[in-house]
Every structure is written in C-alpha cells, then in structure tokens.
Structure 1
C-alpha cells in the first residue's frame, strides 16, 4: 500500500492539507510509521507551538471547527472519519513523515470524552508497536492514540521522544498528565535483552498500582511477566522515561509496557496483552 500524504510543512501557506483517510485506520498508522527515516530533518516545536497544538487537540470534540482551523494554521493536517471495526468517529491529526516538523500522528476518539492515552514513542524502531497501539485504541472507547513523528535516531537522538522533554509527543503527554488521563506507553525489546520474560510491566518513575497488578495477574500462566515494582527487570523498566516522570509528578497512572519480539510477532499473544490492558483500563 502506498504512503498517504498526511500533512503539510510549508511555512508560507500555514495551512495543512488533509487528504481523505484510507478505509482502515490501522493502514494509516502503519504507513506513517513505515515512512519514518533516521536521516530526516527535525526541529523540535517551540513552547508557543506546543501550547497552541495541545490546546487545539484538546478541543477537537468540543469546538471542532475552531480546533481544526487552529491546527491547520500550524501546518498540520486534520481528517475526520468513522473507524470501521468499532463504528466510532475519530479525528486524525498529523504532520508529514520526515518533515522538519516531526510532531507526530494523533487519533482522538470522538464518541465520548477522553479517558486514556495510548502512546507509541518508537513506531519505526519497535516493530509491531503501531499495530498494538491501534488495537488498544480500539479496545478502549474514549482513547487518544499518540504516535511519535520521528525515528528515534533522528538528529543524533533528538527524535527519541521517550528520553526528551522538548517534543510535541511529550507536550501532549504532559497535558494529559495535568488532566490525570491514564497513559499506556508501548515499547518492544529483543528476546535476548531479557530471556526470562515475554513482557515487562513498569510504572516508570511512579509506584505500582492495582491496574498493573491486574494486568500482570491476568497474563500470568500464559506468558512470563516481569513486574518492575517487585523484581529486577534490567534496563527495560523505563525509570528514566520522560513521559513517565511527568506523569509521576502529577500523580497520573503511567504504564510502561515492554513486549518482546516473539510476542510482537505473534498476533494471538500480543492481542492477549491488549485485552488484559483494555480490561484493566476499563475500570479506571
């Protein structure tokens, strides 16, 4: 499937061009992730751009016309459609892959108020995480899906949004933390990095809680789960994750989810992780 243009990065027009979205939201997200290159130009957004973007994103449901205009004035594409598998309306906001403004792709479920944020910080590097992110977005009505707009090695590592606080991805996560929106951040690791585990669950910089316990208990027996709040999970615990740190500052739930390659390559297995996360989040 060809790559769909998903934004505009021209400083002269100041207007985003929103093409019709493809029939399937998953195709859109996968194509976006597949297009990201490590040699692309990248410039972090200014504080003013961060404030305007996050405010407009938050208004997509309440003030749609105004929010769309404000986003397009930033050079960002906005499209609205209905998701086929769920029948729920959504808004998709995105910058163009590999443009200097690598601000990312965001999908907001418009069927109800936002109640959970699903984050994919390394879509081009942690293979399979974009698909898992879309599946979890569909599992929880009222979800917001955030997909980084950069390869993690862009600009000497400036594109590694999980380790940076100057990206639009982080600005959106920080806004969600201020409003106490629970967040699930999906990562992938090589099997050899922790051979004893299929899945690592961590609260990042925060403490453990009933949601992570519920997910771990649900999956025990079907896969090997490393609980970072109770045991050593090596370098996969996300303690230095910047989105997790700001969530901890605001007392907001943050789940850092690391999934090994074998599980990500096996739909039945990663779908079990999505189901367990969705069921636990549904009670939040």
Structure 2
C-alpha cells in the first residue's frame, strides 16, 4: 500500500512544481506595465515613480540642430497616431502591440509631485546614436482625456517643454505631445513640426483634434520679435477657440502680463500658418497658439503665473471627473 501512496504524493508535488514554473515564466514574460489592478487598469505598484519634469528635461537635453531627426513614412505616422487613439479608447494592449510594430514603447509612470498616472509613449531610438526624433506623448490615465498641450519646438523655443509639463499637471484629462527633435535637426525644415503635415507630431495632434480634443500649443519668441509684449495669443487659422482665447488673454493680464490678442489687432507671430491649428479648424475644434517671451519661459514665478492663467482654460475643457 505504500507504493501507490508514494506515487500519488510524487505526482502531486510534480504538478505543484509545474504550476510554479508556469507562474514564474508568466511573470518573466510580462513587461513592467502589464500588471493590472482589479479594474483591469495598470497597477500603481508596477508603474515607475518619476518626476515628469526631470524625465522631460533629460529627454530634451539630447536635442540639437543638424542631427537627431529622420523623416517618417506615411505608414509610420498613421500607425503611431492610430495607437494613440487606441490608448484614448482604453485599449492599451492593442495600442502596445501596434506601437511595438513601429519601435515605440508604452509604460505607466506615476508623477511623484502630483501622484497622477500617465501613459508614456516613447520612441525606442531616443537613446541611440541615431535617434529618429519622432516625439513623445504623456496621457492622463486617471481621467478621461479631454484636451491637449502641444510643444512643437522644444529646446529651440527654450523652456516650452517645461511649460508643457506644468500645463499638463495643472488640470486633469490632459495629453502632452512633445516633438522629438530640435526644430533645425532635419534636412531643410523637415523637423519644423508646426509647419508640416508629414510628421508624427502633426498626425498625433490631428488625431486628437479629430476626436474633438481642444489644444493649446506653446511657443517662444525672442524679445526683439514682439517688443512691449510678454505673450501673443492667437486662435491660429480658425475662430473656434476665440472665447477661450479672450478668457486666456484676460487671465494673463490679471497676472501682470502684456498680451497681444491676434483676433483683435495686428500682432507679430500670429500662427496663421500653423498646421495643427489648421487641422483643428477643419474639425471645428478650439485651438490656441500662444507665444511667450524669454522671461516667461525662464521658469520661476513668471512661468507659474502664466500656467495659472492657462489653467483657467484647460479646467473648462475637462469633460468628466476621475475614472472609476
């Protein structure tokens, strides 16, 4: 009678070992962002704890003129933008697969100063010797995506990338889109994403506009380009954003800034030829093109006051409270 009992015990132990191996292999095969909470969302325990401002500063610190940009093909642009759409729809795994086909990654990060979770969409070539410069996206995972803040000329328009992070933090439901290269990095003006349609940056912003998300785009001007002003506010090629533009101009003035409103008078740097503004206009979506002086973009209290004024607008664009 001992032999059968011993054989059954051995079989039971073998099954337990095999189950343990299977669980271990599953854990090894998962990427860091694959863990889920009971609602099916990425688990906070699996997310990287980061300071988003530092992450973006590190990312853009590698940007420079004359290198770091390769023009994307149409399929590249369309697939990456479609994957962003999947993320907006909450279809994370499908988005991950589609992004991987274009050598992009998606992971969950927690911005430690705010405690907010974001999906970070990044180009795998960012840290290589020859980056493609196709950009990066941060999408609020704790709230329904409702609006975007766009940074087309990071580093070239110094400080706009950090203003973008501040604006993203200011209101829930934001999507931050950052161009992936210096404005002068490509051949000709190929990396000047604000004035071209054949870029990943433009295709993503156009997808957001197609889905009805209003956008605010941040630029910077040299002091000599708009003397007497701290900011130039415009609605780009359209007029849908005029109510928000008027509110923003009033808010900026209340914070002590001198503002030129392009819808009311002739201003320099009006952004009429901005391609993302034209895409928003085609979809009847509000779009604001804001140029800031070097003083505002230098950080500190001026930047804080400017972002506080922008928050008055983005809060009005929030569609729903936090996700359940």
Once the two structures are superposed, the pairs formed by residues 249-264 of structure 1 within 5 Å of their partners are 249-264=282-297
Report what 1:164 is aligned to.
196
Report what 2:263 is aligned to.
229
Report what 1:6 is aligned to.
none
Give the Cα separation in 2 of the matches to 1:257 and 1:93: 25
Give the Cα separation in 1 of the matches to 2:207 and 2:71: 17
Report what 2:107 is aligned to.
79
Once the two structures are superposed, the pairs formed by residues 90-239 of structure 1 within 5 Å of their partners are 90-95=118-123, 96-97=125-126, 99-154=130-185, 155-207=187-239, 209-221=242-254, 222-234=256-268, 236-239=269-272
SS of the residue corresponding to residue 67 of structure 1 reads: helix
Give TM-score scaled by structure 1 length: 0.88
* Structure 2 unaligned regions, length at least 5: 1-30, 34-46, 318-324
Report what 1:67 is aligned to.
95
Cα-Cα RMSD: 2.0
Give the Cα separation in 2 of the matches to 1:90 and 1:138: 11
Report what 2:70 is aligned to.
43
The structural deviation recorded for 1:17 is: 11
- Tell me how many residue pairs correspond in the alignment: 267
Of residues 291, 295, 301 in structure 2, which corresponds to 1:268? 301
- The answer (yes or no) to whether the contact 2:32–2:107 under 8 Å persists in 1 is no
Q: Which protein has the larger Cα radius of gyration, Structure 1 or Structure 2? A: 2
- The answer (yes or no) to whether the contact 1:56–1:67 under 8 Å persists in 2 is yes
Between 111-120 and 66-75, the greater mean CA deviation after superposition: 66-75
SS of the residue corresponding to residue 94 of structure 1 reads: strand
The structural deviation recorded for 1:100 is: 4.9
Report what 2:8 is aligned to.
none
The structural deviation recorded for 1:22 is: 6.5
Structure 1 residue 247 and structure 2 residue 280: aligned? yes
* Structure 1 unaligned regions, length at least 5: 1-15
Of residues 14, 26, 29 in structure 1, which corresponds to 2:53? 26
